[in-house]
């Protein structure tokens, strides 16, 4: 009993955890919570990056689909709604009103259809009355009631040259023969007439027909000429045209305002280059006032050495896109370089087209706002197009510079508000990086807002390239450049390509002096009265 009582009175001892152990557990839990929060933050960041990349990929996919399947025009179906946006401080209508205050607006007149050229041959078709219908009339007369344009289809024929020869007896019983002078042909002994050579060149380089199609067309007319023969004639004509091209280049470089552009070309047989690698067709357009020269030049390289060679001796203003390959020639030749607003606008147009489909009444994108602001610059150019250079300069400084200042301030404010690497972000950065070049056109009324004239000149080459796809040799590519140069120079000077090329091919064989070659310049050739193709 006494032992049991002692046992009951003995205090019960329980194990109490160490305070340091509790702190360690708490710290461990805090670390686990912190790691968990860090993992969640990393996951959220990764998801955000993936969503950003997904949006960029979707944007790129939409642009690729538009480029492949969509219309190539830069016009947008919702452009009329752009000026409803509150961000546009000055609408196009207000700008037009401002321009109207500066200069009285011309009264709009309904444009009438232009009649046919008076220089086209005309055939009269008389529609007489019958004897019964005009019986008893005091007099009759004809009046012209209608004009129709008629086309005579091409036909093949053979031109036979019969040379007269005279036989003279001399005093010693011998004879001598005198023959009439033969017509000079640019290729010497060649079975192709001057007209046929002109037809081939214009069909291929002005109308984009490949030689295999011309071969079939000539066969239908009864002229069996292989594409190999036609290709050889074109290459041989390159040597014939070369002196004229050299003089045209000298004439072009004597001006003080040139535009340049370049585009890809595939040449199968080029030393040191793969058949699938890119080669380049360069274009320089410009020259003295009212005497524009358009020259193409093939080169397998796109390096800065090419414009340095093509522009050797030129002094003045060079207008290009943003390609850095022109930097060296501008630096070493002290050229004034200006940019092209078409290229800047095109980047915003691509960004706008690549955005998701807009619902009617939805807020326009930032790319659309930029397009609206840039359109004001083109509206000004359209309005002042007929003014002389001094007046253009004054109008641009008074009207275009405030629009430019507004556009630049808007881009700087919105540069960080669009996703980085998006098409809109790239468009804004391109425009800001090219800003000093883009505003250069305001300094001189002779300069243009864009490089469109050079792009228009190179477009027939791009159209033809879709048909014939590639050149076989570099010599063929150089011959093509020569033919494109003559045809596009003729169009730039308002001449019909066939008439000009026929004149050149007909007379160049006898052009053995510089003066005779200069007589073949487009501005020295009488216009036939027919409009230039695409001019």
Domain positions in the chain: 171-340+451-535, 341-450
Task: Report d(CA 292, CA 284) in Å as an integer.
Answer: 10
Helices and strands (DSSP H and E) totals, the chain? 18, 9
- For residue 372, is pLDDT > 60? yes
Task: Report d(CA 516, CA 507) in Å as an integer.
Answer: 9
Task: Report d(CA 449, CA 438) in Å as an integer.
Answer: 8
**H-type alpha helices, 70-193:** 92-102
Supply 17's token pair: 């955890």
Q: What phi and psi values does residue 203 have, to the nearest 5 degrees?
A: -65, -40
Q: pLDDT value at position 469?
A: 67
Task: Report d(CA 443, CA 383) in Å as an integer.
Answer: 18
In 3D space, the residue among 347, 349, 370, 341 whose CA is nearest the CA of residue 435 turns out to be 341
- B/e letters for 136-151, b = 16+ CB within 10 Å, e = fewer, are eeeeeeeeeeeeeeee
In 3D space, the residue among 412, 399, 476, 408 whose CA is nearest the CA of residue 436 turns out to be 408
Task: Report d(CA 175, CA 6) in Å as an integer.
Answer: 169
Residues 6+ apart with CB under 8 A from 254: 287, 288
* C-beta separation of 533 from 208 below 8 A: no
Q: pLDDT value at position 125?
A: 92
Supply 134's token pair: 């005009």
pLDDT (mean) for 321-327: 92
Supply 317's token pair: 């203003």
Q: pLDDT value at position 86?
A: 36
- For residue 319, is pLDDT > 80? yes
Supply 344's token pair: 């800047």
Q: pLDDT value at position 358?
A: 62
pTM over 0.85: no
Task: Report d(CA 334, CA 331) in Å as an integer.
Answer: 5
46-96 per-position pLDDT tens digit: 777 777 677 677 667 766 766 666 555 555 544 444 443 333 334 445 655
């Amino acid at each position: 009993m006494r032992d049991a009582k002692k046992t009951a009175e003995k205090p019960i001892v329980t194990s109490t955890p160490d305070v340091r152990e509790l702190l360690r557990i708490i710290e461990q839990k805090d670390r686990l919570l912190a790691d968990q929060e860090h993992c969640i933050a990393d996951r959220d960041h990764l998801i955000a990056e993936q969503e950003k990349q997904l949006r960029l990929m979707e944007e790129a996919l939409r642009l690729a689909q538009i480029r492949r399947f969509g219309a190539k025009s830069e016009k947008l179906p919702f452009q009329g709604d752009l000026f409803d946006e509150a961000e546009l401080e000055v609408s196009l209508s207000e700008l037009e009103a401002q321009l109207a205050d500066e200069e009285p607006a011309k009264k709009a007149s309904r444009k009438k259809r232009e009649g046919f050229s008076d220089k086209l041959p005309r055939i009269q078709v008389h529609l007489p009355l019958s004897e019964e219908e005009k019986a008893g009339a005091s007099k009759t007369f004809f009046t012209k009631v209608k004009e129709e344009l008629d086309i005579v289809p091409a036909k093949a024929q053979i031109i036979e040259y019969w040379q007269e020869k005279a036989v003279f007896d001399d005093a010693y019983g011998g004879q001598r023969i005198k023959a009439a002078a033969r017509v000079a042909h640019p290729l010497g002994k060649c079975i192709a007439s001057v007209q046929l050579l002109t037809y081939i060149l214009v069909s291929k380089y002005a109308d984009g027909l490949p030689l295999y199609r011309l071969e079939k067309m000539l066969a239908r007319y009864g002229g069996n000429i292989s594409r190999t023969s036609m290709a050889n004639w074109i290459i041989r004509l390159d040597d014939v045209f070369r002196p004229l091209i050299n003089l045209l280049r000298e004439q072009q470089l004597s001006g003080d305002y040139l535009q340049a552009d370049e585009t890809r070309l595939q040449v199968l047989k080029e030393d040191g280059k793969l058949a699938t690698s890119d080669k380049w067709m360069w274009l320089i357009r410009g020259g003295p006032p009212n005497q524009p020269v358009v020259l193409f030049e093939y080169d397998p390289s796109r390096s800065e050495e090419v414009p340095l060679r093509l522009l050797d001796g030129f002094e003045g203003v060079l207008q290009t896109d943003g390609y850095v390959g022109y930097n060296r020639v501008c630096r070493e030749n002290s050229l004034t370089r200006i940019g092209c607003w078409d290229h800047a606008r095109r980047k915003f147009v691509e960004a706008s087209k690549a955005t998701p489909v807009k619902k009617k009444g939805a807020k326009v994108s930032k790319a659309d706002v930029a397009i609206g602001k840039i359109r004001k610059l083109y509206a000004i150019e359209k309005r002042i197009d007929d003014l002389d250079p001094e007046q253009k300069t004054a109008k641009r400084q008074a009207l275009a510079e405030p629009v430019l200042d507004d556009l630049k301030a808007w881009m700087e404010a919105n540069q960080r508000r669009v996703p980085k690497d998006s098409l809109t972000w790239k468009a804004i950065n391109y425009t800001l990086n090219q800003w000093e070049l883009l505003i250069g056109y305001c300094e001189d009324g002779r300069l243009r807002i864009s490089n469109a004239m050079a792009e228009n000149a190179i477009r027939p080459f791009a159209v033809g390239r879709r048909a014939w796809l590639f050149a076989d040799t570099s010599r063929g590519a150089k011959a093509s450049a020569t033919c494109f140069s003559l045809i596009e120079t003729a169009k730039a000077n308002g001449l019909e390509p066939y008439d000009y090329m026929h004149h050149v091919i007909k007379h160049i064989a006898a052009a053995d002096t510089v003066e005779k070659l200069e007589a073949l310049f487009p501005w020295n050739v009488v216009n036939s009265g027919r409009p230039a193709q695409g001019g």
